[in-house]
Amino acid sequence: MSSSSFTHLNDKGHARMVDVSQKDETFREARAYAQVFIGERIARLIKDQKVPKGDVFCVSRVAGILAAKKVDQIIPLCHPLPLHSVELDFDLNDQGLVEIWSTVKVHGKTGVEMEALTAVSTAALTIYDMCKAIEKGITIEKVCLEYKTGGKSGTWKRTKS
């Protein structure tokens, strides 16, 4: 495959930011997912609001939102986007599994998949940071895009396997 068929490479094979100036602005939305295994002990501490660093989900939510807003400063070839909405939701079960979902929306010329993925990843890392003094064996898994819509490629949804 020639370098010219890759959108992030110029005709000499050098990295570049894709030119989106001629693209139409459309409504774009992306939803991402991550899992964090924290264990039963930390799950109890979170539910009882007894984690020494504070409200784990509140801080993780804010961290995820801030990270989504700064993706262009973290991922080298991403465009800066004026995000309209970033939401994070958490679900914690008694066995110590935290599920995280992010939904990001914009009306723009490029999608928000990276923003949604960065939001759940940063929220998961923040959970780890807030709980690592209690347990270092926390794992982050299954970070993935669940859904995206908008733009030339239209709608895509993960099919469960």
Residue 108 contacts residue 82 (beta carbons within 8 Å): yes
CA atoms of 40 and 38, how far apart (whole Å): 7
Q: Establish whether 89 is a catalytic residue.
A: no
In Å, how far from its chain's centre is CA 30?
A: 9
- Answer yes or no: are the C-beta atoms of 110 and 5 closer than 8 Å: no
d(CA 133, CA 117): 26
* Among 48, 89, 94, 129, the one annotated catalytic: 129
Instruction: Please state, as a whole number, how many other Cβ atoms lie within 10 Å of the Cβ of residue 145.
Output: 18
Q: Torsion angle of alpha carbons 81, 110, 74, 128, nearest 10°?
A: 90
Q: Is residue 36 a contact partner of residue 139, using CB atoms and an 8 Å limit? A: yes
The residues that are catalytic are 129
